[in-house]
Structure formats: C-alpha cells, structure tokens
Amino acid sequence: MKKIAMVGLGRMGGNMVRRLRQGGAEVVAHNRSFAVAKQLAAETGLLAVETLQELVDALGDGPRIIWLMLPAGEATQQALDALIPMLGADDIVVDGANAFYKDSQRRAGELGAWGIQFVDVGVSGGVWGLQNGYAMMVGGELVAVKQLEPYLKILAPAPDKGWLHCGPAGSGHFVKMIHNGIEYGMMQAFAEGFALMKGKQEFDLDLAAISEMWRHGSVVRSWLLDLSADFLLQDQDLSGIAPFVSDSGEGRWTAFEAIEQGVPAPVMSLALMMRFASQGSNDFPARMLAMMRKGFGGHAIKEGAK
C-alpha cells in the first residue's frame, strides 16, 4: 500500500487520519497550523510536513494520492491551485469536503487538462466516524477509484460495506448532497413529533422512555433516534439550548436541484426553511403578519424587543 497524503486535519480530517493509521496506512499530513500536524504525528506516527511541496515530495514516485479535507469553496480551490503545478500525470487528488457537485465536475475537467485524476468523496459519519467508520460516496474514473480502494476499505465501517463508487466525477458529491437533504427532513420530522408529545401535558409523557422504546422494532428506528434517546435521557426540557439551527450548503443545493429538475421535494425544502426560521429569518415576516392582522381586524399586538 502506497503512502497517502491528507491536507486538513480538523475534526473530520484528523479522525480519518487516525483511522487510516490504525488500519496500517502510511500517511503524510499537512495542516494550516503545523502544531496540529505535529501533535497528530506524535500520537499516530504519521509524517507531518509544513508545506504542500514537502507533502508532494514525501509521497515519492507517482501516482501520488492527495486527499483534501478542507472547507468547501475558497479553501479547497486555493489548495488545488497550489497543488496543480507540483503534480504530474496520473496523480490523484481527492476532495472529501461537502462541495457542490457542479464545482466537482468543473474541477475534474480542470485537473484532467493537466493529466491529474480527480475523485470527489462525500463523507458521512461525523465525530463517530473514527469509531464506527465513515460512509463514503465516491465519484470519479474507475482507474483512480481502484487505486484509492485500499484506503476506502480502511475508512469504511467494513471493507465491503459503507462505501460506493457512485459514478463519474461529481456523482459522489451529488449523492452526498441528496443524503444531507434527506437528513434535514428526518431531523425535522423527529423534532416536530417530539414537540407534539411534549406539548400533550395531560399525558405527562416520558420522551426519553418513548425514544428508547422506538429504538427496538419500530419502523422509525435510526441513528438519529439513537442520538435523541441519549440526550433526552439526560435532559427532556432542553431549556438551556438556544433554538438556533445552522444550515450548511447541502440543504440549499438540494432545494435548488429540486427546482432545477422540476421534482417536488417539499419535505427537504421545508426542513431547510425551518432552519432559516430558527436563525431569526422569520422575525420580520412574523412582525408583518402581526401588523396586518391588527390593521384589518384591530387585533392587539404583543410588544417586543426592537
């Protein structure tokens, strides 16, 4: 098995490196903060380098494999722009960020003009990936994916489970985008259902007990339910949690894709809208509604903060 390089050692990249090392892979790693790379080197025995040129040189003869685990967008593009002049024909660059699939298609064309193979990998597993393995949705040419396969087998939950070569460049990130759109919808459905049960005060329902019971035999059993059961066991009121839910690009891209294809996707789209509402984006529309209701019906309004 050849050495593999990893650029970006954040929560995902750092744990992926740990799993690769546990599986016996030789890893060269680079991070914007060299101290982070050195710390991981001391922990895992990987080779930490300060610059991208050192990273490429440390991989030896081609084809070299460089896996980027950087924020999607400008950070990834800057790394690609810097790497292109350093790489040769048949070298492989893997983008493991949550990138927009059309960007991945474009990048595959740009790198292909230099003879460099581009593979897009949608990675799911979060902070539990180190322990449980990562689900990976892979896009790119078969010849490049075959060379990447030994590392995918280490990172996955099992060598033959949890990873798939989905199709050509862009398909991995496309499937991951849809995966995250579905995730939005599932999370919203669980949140609404538990809110309804919490609101039925006359039954004094034990949400922790219900979520634990549902985990066994129910058609809604899932990892999201497992996580919910865990935190509800500790706190069923969640009064200390701000009602603010961030959204990442994948939910928005999924909604755009539905519009572009003309395919109805109301659950995923409305789940995204609810995240916007939690971020305060519904505050002004709600004030407008209150004022219109006052205007036509003389209904009282509730004074609030400016």
58-76 per-position pLDDT tens digit = 999 879 999 999 999 999 9
The answer to whether residue 183 is catalytic is yes
Catalytic residue among 149, 183, 198, 212: 183
Q: Are residues 43 and 135 in the same domain?
A: yes
Question: Domain ends where: 107, 142, 168?
Answer: 168
Q: Are residues 122 and 23 in the same domain?
A: yes
Average pLDDT of the residues of the chain? 95
Q: Are residues 86 and 66 in the same domain?
A: yes
Say if 219 falls within a structural domain.
no
Report the CATH number that the domain containing residue 115 is assigned in CATH: 3.40.50.720
Say if 68 falls within a structural domain.
yes
Say if 306 falls within a structural domain.
no
Say if 66 falls within a structural domain.
yes
Q: Are residues 103 and 61 in the same domain?
A: yes
Boundaries of domain holding 21:
4-168
Q: Which residues of 230-241 are buried (b: 16+ CB within 10 A; e: fewer)?
A: eebeeebeeeee
- Cα separation, 149 vs 142, in Å, equals 10
Q: Are residues 42 and 117 in the same domain?
A: yes
- How far CA 98 is from CA of 92, 125, 170, 178, 282, in Å, comes to 18, 13, 11, 11, 27
Say if 226 falls within a structural domain.
no
CB atoms within 10 A of CB 186: 18
- Selection from 165, 133, 134 nearest residue 149 by Cα: 165
Per-residue pLDDT tens over the stretch 90-99: 999 999 999 9
Q: Are residues 107 and 185 in the same domain?
A: no
pLDDT at 1: 79
Q: What average pLDDT does range 46-63 have in this prediction? A: 94
User: Please, which pLDDT band fits residue 49 given cuts at 50, 70 and 90?
Assistant: very high
pLDDT at 51: 96
Catalytic residue among 176, 202, 303, 306: 176
- Cα separation, 118 vs 120, in Å, equals 7
pLDDT at 305: 58
pLDDT at 126: 87
Q: What average pLDDT does range 289-304 have in this prediction? A: 90
Per-residue pLDDT tens over the stretch 13-41: 999 999 999 999 999 999 999 999 999 99
User: Please, which pLDDT band fits residue 181 given cuts at 50, 70 and 90?
Assistant: very high
Chain centre to alpha carbon of residue 73: 14
Say if 106 falls within a structural domain.
yes
pLDDT at 142: 98
Q: Are residues 15 and 128 in the same domain?
A: yes
pLDDT at 62: 78
Using DSSP bridges, classify how beta strands 27-30 and 163-167 pair: parallel, antiparallel or unpaired.
Answer: unpaired
- Cα separation, 156 vs 159, in Å, equals 6
**Residue 306 pLDDT greater than 60, yes or no:** no
Report the CATH number that the domain containing residue 272 is assigned in CATH: 1.10.1040.10
Q: Are residues 32 and 59 in the same domain?
A: yes
Per-residue pLDDT tens over the stretch 273-291: 999 999 999 999 999 999 9
Region of residue 90 (left: phi > 0; alpha: psi -120 to 50; beta: else)? left
Q: What is the pTM of this model?
A: 0.93
- Cα separation, 41 vs 27, in Å, equals 9
Q: Are residues 144 and 283 in the same domain?
A: no
pLDDT at 127: 86
Structure tokens at 39: 């710390």
Q: Are residues 28 and 90 in the same domain?
A: yes
Q: Are residues 79 and 34 in the same domain?
A: yes
Say if 303 falls within a structural domain.
no
| Residues 6 or more apart in contact with residue 168 via CB below 8 angstroms | 108, 139, 140, 141
Question: Domain ends where: 122, 140, 168?
Answer: 168
Say if 234 falls within a structural domain.
no
DSSP 110: H
Counting the structural domains of the chain, the total is 2
Would you call the peptide bond into 85 cis, given omega within 30 degrees of 0 as the criterion?
Answer: no
pLDDT at 86: 96
